[in-house]
């Protein structure tokens, strides 16, 4: 298992001072839902994420911004996740959590919260830096409180700090970095919340029970888009990447995982010149999406345009090339 923390400099990036930690959100480019059935996924850690500060205190928790009411209904509260991460330390500290990206949208905010809380605890107690595998296992145990039996794809991506491939495994998943031949400019955004990861994963399971071969074939196709998408990212073939993104979105749409309002945003992105656009993460109603663009200028302009639509939050992300 690769030690991402050391090899990829993740900890250098996340720790700001002794008691403050940052963990990035995640964006699944390919493989959501299919990964639950053993297929590979591809995802990146975002520039936006969750920042968490611990100071000596008595268990007070301050969240910014305030979270939407849906969060309490479909997922565990940040307070519960924090308690799971900090244990008895929770009563001896005050915690400030800043969510720098939309929550319950598919950006892995609970995985980022778990990782940031573990890193902040580690710094607060002045313990030696956690090896990546230990961080992964501890964050996954916390994440499972929020989402039930997740594959760990969110924790895997968030804790890697880079663009990675992910294959679920019997004990730990296999996670590998994906070097890019050329920079890739994306618009990343969301419209409202998804339907709650557990509920939406349940919808796919119900369809699979109703029509096993057909659903399995769709999930295998999603796995193929992960493989083709990864190869296109490695070789810098934008046409192939575009085709993989379009097919993946079409399959997710066919599986009933794209709400009509989010589809309208995807259509708008393409009408405004995006090469391809796709939902990202669990989907269901609203939630996260991304659009592939030619370059950062186009991504910035498109993000600005999409942000004028009611309820849409969008920004540009540039994935750098590696030698
Ligand atoms: C959620 O980010 C990804 C899903 O595939 C669920 C999982 O893998 O645990 C929908």
For ligand 1, say whether the CB of 153 is within 6 Å of any of its atoms: yes
* pLDDT (0 to 100) of residue 88: 94
Can you tell me the distance from the alpha carbon of 312 to that of 192, in angstroms, rounded to the nearest whole number? 7
For ligand 1, say whether the CB of 281 is within 6 Å of any of its atoms: yes
Ligand 1 centroid – CA 35 distance (Å):
7
Can you tell me the distance from the alpha carbon of 288 to that of 291, in angstroms, rounded to the nearest whole number? 11
269 touches 187 (CB < 8 A): yes
Q: Which residues contact 279 (CB under 8 A, 6 or more apart)?
A: 106, 249, 252, 257, 258, 262, 266, 287, 288, 289
For ligand 1, say whether the CB of 150 is within 6 Å of any of its atoms: yes
For ligand 1, say whether the CB of 282 is within 6 Å of any of its atoms: yes
State which ligand 1 atom lies nearest to the alpha carbon of 153: 8
Q: Which of 26, 28, 110, 152 to mutate to test the pocket of ligand 1 (most atoms within 8 A of CB)?
A: 28
* pLDDT (0 to 100) of residue 4: 60
State which ligand 1 atom lies nearest to the alpha carbon of 154: 2
199 touches 75 (CB < 8 A): no
Q: Which of 35, 142, 156, 168 to mutate to test the pocket of ligand 1 (most atoms within 8 A of CB)?
A: 35
Our measurement of the distance from residue 303's CA atom to the centroid of its chain's CA atoms, rounded to an integer in Å, reads 19
CA dihedral sign, ordered 225, 289, 241, 24: negative
Ligand 1 centroid – CA 173 distance (Å):
13
* Ligand 1 atom 2: residue of nearest CA: 281
* pLDDT (0 to 100) of residue 285: 87
98 touches 51 (CB < 8 A): yes
Q: Which residues contact 26 (CB under 8 A, 6 or more apart)?
A: 43, 44, 45, 46, 107, 108, 111, 112, 153, 154, 157, 158
Ligand 1 centroid – CA 106 distance (Å):
9
* pLDDT (0 to 100) of residue 71: 65
State which ligand 1 atom lies nearest to the alpha carbon of 168: 8
Q: 3-class SS at 321?
A: coil
* Ligand 1 atom 9: residue of nearest CA: 150
Q: What is the pTM of this model?
A: 0.93
Q: Please give the structure tokens belonging to residue 180.
A: 């890019």
Can you tell me the distance from the alpha carbon of 256 to that of 200, in angstroms, rounded to the nearest whole number? 10
Tokens 């993460």 locate to 281
From 44, 19, 21, select the one nearest 116 (Cα to Cα).
Answer: 21
Can you tell me the distance from the alpha carbon of 286 to that of 67, in angstroms, rounded to the nearest whole number? 16
* pLDDT (0 to 100) of residue 19: 80
* pLDDT (0 to 100) of residue 155: 96
- Tens-digit pLDDT string for the chain (323 aa): 455 654 334 554 444 445 889 999 999 999 999 999 999 999 999 999 999 999 999 999 999 998 877 666 656 789 999 999 999 999 999 999 999 999 989 999 999 999 999 999 998 888 888 899 999 999 999 988 877 788 999 999 999 999 999 999 988 899 999 999 999 999 999 998 887 888 999 999 999 999 999 999 999 999 999 999 999 999 999 999 999 999 999 999 999 999 999 999 999 999 999 999 999 999 998 999 999 999 999 999 999 999 999 999 999 999 999 75
State which ligand 1 atom lies nearest to the alpha carbon of 149: 9
Ligand 1 centroid – CA 93 distance (Å):
32
Can you tell me the distance from the alpha carbon of 90 to that of 142, in angstroms, rounded to the nearest whole number? 14
For ligand 1, say whether the CB of 32 is within 6 Å of any of its atoms: yes
Can you tell me the distance from the alpha carbon of 35 to that of 29, in angstroms, rounded to the nearest whole number? 12
State which ligand 1 atom lies nearest to the alpha carbon of 32: 5
From 156, 166, 200, 175, select the one nearest 39 (Cα to Cα).
Answer: 166
Ligand 1 centroid – CA 57 distance (Å):
35
Ligand 1 centroid – CA 153 distance (Å):
6
For ligand 1, say whether the CB of 154 is within 6 Å of any of its atoms: yes
For ligand 1, say whether the CB of 36 is within 6 Å of any of its atoms: yes
Burial classification of residue 161, based on how many CB atoms lie within 10 Å of its CB (0-12 exposed, 13-18 middle, 19 or more buried): buried
Q: Please give the structure tokens belonging to residue 24.
A: 């990035």
Q: 3-class SS at 217?
A: helix
E strand residue ranges, the chain: 15-17, 20-30, 41-56, 61-64, 93-99, 164-167, 174-177, 184-191, 276-280, 287-293, 312-319
* pLDDT (0 to 100) of residue 6: 43
């Amino acid at each position: 298992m690769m030690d991402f923390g050391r090899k990829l400099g993740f900890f250098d990036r996340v720790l700001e001072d002794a008691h403050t930690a940052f963990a990035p959100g995640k964006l699944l480019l390919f493989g959501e839902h299919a990964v639950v059935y053993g297929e590979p996924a591809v995802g990146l850690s975002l520039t936006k994420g969750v920042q968490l500060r611990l100071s000596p205190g008595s268990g007070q928790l301050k969240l910014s911004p305030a979270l939407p009411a849906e969060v309490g209904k479909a997922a565990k509260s940040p307070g519960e996740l924090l308690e799971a991460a900090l244990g008895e330390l929770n009563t001896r500290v005050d915690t400030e959590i800043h969510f720098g990206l939309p929550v319950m949208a598919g950006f892995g905010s609970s995985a980022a919260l778990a990782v940031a809380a573990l890193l902040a605890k580690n710094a607060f107690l002045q313990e030696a830096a956690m090896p990546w595998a230990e961080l992964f296992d501890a964050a996954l145990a916390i994440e499972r409180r929020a989402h039930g039996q997740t594959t760990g794809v969110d924790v895997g991506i968030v804790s890697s700090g880079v663009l990675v491939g992910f294959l679920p495994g019997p004990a730990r998943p296999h996670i590998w970095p994906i070097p890019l031949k050329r920079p890739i400019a994306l618009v990343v955004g969301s419209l409202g919340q998804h339907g709650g990861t557990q509920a939406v994963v349940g919808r796919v399971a119900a369809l699979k029970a109703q029509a096993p071969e057909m659903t399995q074939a769709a999930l295998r196709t999603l796995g193929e888009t992960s493989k083709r998408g990864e190869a296109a990212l490695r070789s810098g073939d934008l046409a192939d990447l575009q085709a993989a993104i379009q097919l993946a979105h079409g399959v997710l749409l066919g599986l009933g995982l794209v709400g009509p309002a989010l589809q309208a945003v995807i259509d708008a992105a393409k009408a405004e010149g995006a090469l391809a656009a796709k939902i990202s993460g669990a989907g269901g109603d609203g939630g996260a999406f991304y659009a592939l663009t030619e370059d950062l200028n186009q991504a910035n302009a498109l993000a600005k345009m999409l942000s004028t639509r009611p309820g849409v939050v969008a920004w540009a992300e540039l994935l750098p090339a590696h030698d």
